[in-house]
Amino acid sequence: MPSSDDKKNDRRSVDENTKSKDLEQFRESSDDAYLTSEQGVRVNHTDDSLKAGVRGPTIMEDFHFREKMTHFDHERIPERVVHARGSAAHGFFQPYENAAKYSKAGFLQDPSKKTPVFVRISTVVGSRGSADTVRDVRGFSTKFYTEEGNYDLVGNNMPVFFIQDAIKFPDLVHAIKPEPDNETPQASAAHDTFWDFASLTPESTHMLMWVLSDRALPRSLRMMEAFGVHTFRLIDADGKSRFVKFHWKPALGVHSLVWDESQKLAGKDPDFSRKDLWEAIENGDYPEFELGIQVVEEDDEHSFDFDILDDTKLIPEEEVPVTPIGKMTLNRNPDNFFAETEQVAFQVGNVVPGIDFTNDPMLQGRLFSYLDTQLIRLGGPNFNELPINRPVADVHNNQRDGYGRQKINKGKGAYLPNSVRGGCPMHAPENMGGYVHHAEKVDGHKIRERSDSFKDHFSQATLFWNSMSKPEKDHIVKAAHFELGKVKDKEIRKRVIYELFNHVDHAFAVQIAKGVGIDPPSSGATKNHGKKSPALSMENTVKDSIKTRKIAVLALEGYNHAHVSAVKSALMKEGAQVKIISERGDPLQSDKDKLEVDMTLITTGSIMFDAVFIPGGKDSAGALKKNGTAVHFVNEAFKHCKPVAAMGEGVDFLKACRLPGIQLPDSEKSGVTNEKGVVAGNPDNPDSFIKEFIRAIAQHRHWDREHIDTVPA
């Protein structure tokens, strides 16, 4: 297995092949450099302002003080109205094969070509200072720096949206943001104004089901699907158009947190997701996402029982399979959060030849909104000249001046047609890469109405519900209990249940009603059609790897070193990360050796790990029994359905934790048991124990113990 140094060396070599040379002139390191002003004048003292005498007034001619303070006063720019809290990474995209049969886009043609990318992943509702693990949609935006210009695929980790027409977007955001009278709650939909809006907007029902599901609580930004949401067009070299839906599928599979875990992480480690992405890249565990497409021929546009231009609908993968066309690898963290992550400007309208738009009214509105937003947030029309936004393609046009202009244009004649510059910059014909919009025939009256094909608001919400496993359904119900339980207005709660959820599934609506103090509806408003799409269930995604999973080893003085050594070595060989957790931070003494402690019980918790292991060692296990924090650590992991494992005397500690419904073996006898993800025993050969533990971790959660007796955690 490659070492961490090998991975970092590989990352450096990949970077050299993919990073934009145009950006390098903007990267700056202050190593071995003198302090200077913004004009390059060296500064000999920055700890005291210039004064008239040591106790006298500060003198206005202190240009260094004025420049330093002025810059500080203007360091903040307006945060994004939505998607304010984000994390980002550099990487590259590489197609699997020539995709010319679908699109003439250059970056999809050559399997040997690596196109640089910059990806920003964000929550939607919260401010920049909110927590990472809140229940929310996650934005997933990718900027491809192609040789034909920048292409931005601006999507979410859910394939549908709340509303069908962009004119309702301000209403949606105003409703879901903190209420204007008291500016609460932060980063949450669990309040009156959002559910009031939703209850009066039936088209939001499908998206509500996704937001109430575990998809809104990703275990990691590296372990979630993402989607282009809208239906776009692919155009081939002959000008033929096809409809397309874009999918990003993570190599590690799709995994989630649980709600109790998410809430606790928001307090214990509000930067959990951000740090997880950063650390994975620094460790050389580069996140990978496969780009897939669902292609629909124009002749088949109306062959579905929904409108493919309706962004509240998805195309089931069982009807149109997702075709993988390439892979994206994120292999480099930003050098500066503000300059890159904060100043990156994505626009839905940034497309290249071979990719075009459809008449999806939400998409059409976004084409205006994103550009308009960047103008105010980044101070004017030259935001595209910021290093992170600069294309690698040559830029030649007649745009001039404005705030923050960096380009120094030479010559005269900033207009077309002209003769003073020989007609340059000249028009590019289509065969020379000029962008030509698809010639779609459009004919109709100007009218403020919505197509009848957009008026089915419940069928796909029911499809989503039917497709969930029992644990996933239980979590949706509990999420609705929490969300609606925070709604003070009883009429709003009733309207959500009767006017929305009772059209999804009657039994579902009854369960919600019972949990939020509303009389259940007596009968279903709409009959459940019984259709399913297995691809929508997270339980059907990859469960065969423990790569990058974080495993906690609880140990005190007197632990069994052989147990720790064997388990740690095997888990790391499979790509997992193993952390030693103890009461204090000093090295632990075992029967044979010493062990460095990574974290202490007071600074961490089971919520930060994917599994827990307790090694043998009489003294260690005995002391753990008396440590309430350690007992809570295991009980909490058990409550959250995570794998728990113990060897030798460590099994005695598990017995002290009183895990309900689990029959633990005698610690002295040989053999290994794996009951509902609790692996325990005293094996003659640790290989069998380790194999069962790895299998339990790969499953991610063990929902079969979710409803056993109450866990004291």
Which tens digit of pLDDT belongs to each residue from 376-407?
999 999 999 999 999 999 999 989 999 989 99
Lowest mean pLDDT among 286-295, 536-545, 617-626: 536-545
How far out from the chain centre does Cα 4 lie?
A: 25
| Residue 622 to residues 274, 595, 618, 657, 695, Cα–Cα distance (Å) | 37, 18, 6, 12, 28
**Quick one: pLDDT band at residue 578, thresholds 50, 70, 90?**
very high
- Residue range 458-540 forms a domain whose CATH class is mainly alpha
Q: How many residues does the chain have?
A: 713
Q: What is the pLDDT of residue 21?
A: 45
Q: What is the pTM of this model?
A: 0.93
**Quick one: pLDDT band at residue 443, thresholds 50, 70, 90?**
confident
Tokens of 357: 């738009």
Tell me where in the chain the CATH 3.40.50.880 domain(s) lie: 550-705
Share of the chain above pLDDT 90, in %: 81
Tell me the per-residue pLDDT of 5-63, one tens digit each, with 9 for 90 and over.
555 454 444 444 444 545 677 777 777 888 888 888 898 998 889 999 988 888 889 98
Residue 229 near residue 315, CB atoms below 8 Å: no
Tokens of 703: 């929902």
Residue of 584, 616, 590, 617 lying closest to 602 (CA atoms): 584
List the CATH code of the domain at 550-705.
Answer: 3.40.50.880
SS (H, E, C) 457-488: CCHHHHHHHHHCCHHHHHHHHHHHHHHHHCCC
Active site residues: 83, 156
Q: What is the pLDDT of residue 11?
A: 46
Domain 86-164+212-389: CATH architecture, name and number where available: Beta Barrel (2.40)
**Quick one: pLDDT band at residue 669, thresholds 50, 70, 90?**
confident
